Amino acid sequence: MDTKELLKKVRKIEIKTRRLSDHIFGGEYHSTFKGRGMTFSEVRQYQFGDDIRSIDWNVTARYNEPYVKVFEEERELTMMLLVDVSGSELFGTTNQFKNDIVTEISATLAFSALQNNDKIGLILFSDQVELFIPPKKGKTHVLRIIRELLEFKPKSNKTDIAQALKYLTNVMKKKAIVFVLSDFIATDYERTLKITGNKHDVTGIRVYDEREQRIPNLGIVQMMDAETGSKQLVNTQSKKVRTAYANFHKESVTYFKETFTKSGCGVLDCRVDESYVKKLLGYFKRRG
């Protein structure tokens, strides 16, 4: 992808996702993810209806009229996006690949955090951590994250979610809001997720294509594993083959939902041909 085309794509995603974050998600994000508590801001003269428990008696005595303490929410939150860039993300049977939707959701979340003056960081992972962008504030930083999501070429096509979670735990010492975006066609991350969930506010967003749930009867076809590159002929006429595949997919979805729920983490499903806007908004409202 040349520079001109990349900038055009970045701009297109910025316009679409920023509009969503400004008009829909900003307030929902703020009310869903609270800051660390209340911090003292200033004192002002007492007004009718103020709680008398907030009166600052020292200032009141000095000026011989009542003054109250004013507190504000201490935000200063950090959002971390953990994005799966393995080979299986380059799949889609409708208008978009899974990684296209992942990029849009990530951008929407990042702009929502930006609107609330929070820091945003990024971890791209396969079966290893491919890229780490430390959390920072600002529009320029968010646009860099979007550029990486659009053009990054991973070294590996395989997936290891546990490896990404371990890395996050090591680099993030303070509590963060964490979104893990993947198709979650993987297992063996339960123990690591439990440790991560105890420290951070974690949500798993599963982005999937409807055709991944079952194999249609197409006769004998050659199929390729997107993560290993291996090819083999598959007899899709066989009911046994189709059932085995459907069960495999169902097991990975069940593992994802049960593992995240048991670890005290949030779960969200987004199909590529459905509105992720409604899904995200509904999730924020349920949590708010």
Do 47 and 27 share a domain, yes or no? no
Do 51 and 110 share a domain, yes or no? no
199: its two tokens: 């420290």
Do 276 and 230 share a domain, yes or no? yes
Which domain range does residue 58 map to? 37-74
How much is the pLDDT for 273?
Answer: 86
Q: How many structural domains are present in the chain? A: 2
Q: Which of 180, 80, 82, 173 is nearest to 135 (CA)?
A: 80
pTM: 0.77
Do residues 202 and 164 make contact, with C-beta atoms less than 8 angstroms apart?
no
**Amino acid in position 90:** L
How much is the pLDDT for 220?
Answer: 80
Find the CATH number of the domain harbouring 253.
3.40.50.410
Do 117 and 43 share a domain, yes or no? no
**Amino acid in position 23:** H
Tell me the helices (H) and strands (E) count for the chain, helix number first: 9, 10
Do 129 and 189 share a domain, yes or no? yes
230: its two tokens: 């291996």
Q: Which of 97, 44, 83, 98 is nearest to 66 (CA)?
A: 44
Alpha-carbon span 258 to 268, nearest angstrom: 12
CA angle (80 as vertex; 254, 205 as ends), nearest 5: 25
Do 10 and 116 share a domain, yes or no? yes
Do 195 and 59 share a domain, yes or no? no
Phi, psi of 218 (to 5 degrees): -120, 10
Do 41 and 19 share a domain, yes or no? no
Do 24 and 62 share a domain, yes or no? no
Q: Give the CA distances from residue 239 to residues 1, 209, 223, 232, 248, in Å, rounded to whole numbers and listed in that order.
A: 42, 21, 17, 18, 14
Alpha-carbon span 128 to 139, nearest angstrom: 28
Do 233 and 106 share a domain, yes or no? yes
| Residue at a domain's end among 74, 103, 129 | 74
Q: Which of 119, 126, 121 is nearest to 90 (CA)?
A: 126
**What string of pLDDT tens digits covers the 288 residues of the chain?**
566 676 777 777 777 777 776 655 656 666 667 655 555 567 888 888 788 888 889 989 988 999 888 765 555 789 999 999 987 665 555 567 888 899 999 998 998 888 888 899 999 999 999 999 999 999 999 999 999 999 999 999 889 999 999 999 999 988 999 999 999 988 899 999 999 999 999 999 999 988 777 777 777 877 766 666 677 777 777 788 777 777 888 898 999 999 999 999 999 999 988 888 888 888 888 886
Alpha-carbon span 141 to 113, nearest angstrom: 12
How much is the pLDDT for 74?
Answer: 53
How much is the pLDDT for 53?
Answer: 83
What residues contact 255, with CB distance under 8 A and at least 6 apart? 184, 187
Write the burial class of residue 74 (CB in 10 Å: 0-12 exposed, 13-18 middle, 19+ buried): middle
Alpha-carbon span 113 to 29, nearest angstrom: 7
How much is the pLDDT for 119?
Answer: 92
Do 156 and 236 share a domain, yes or no? yes
Alpha-carbon span 94 to 182, nearest angstrom: 18
Do 165 and 83 share a domain, yes or no? yes
How much is the pLDDT for 274?
Answer: 87
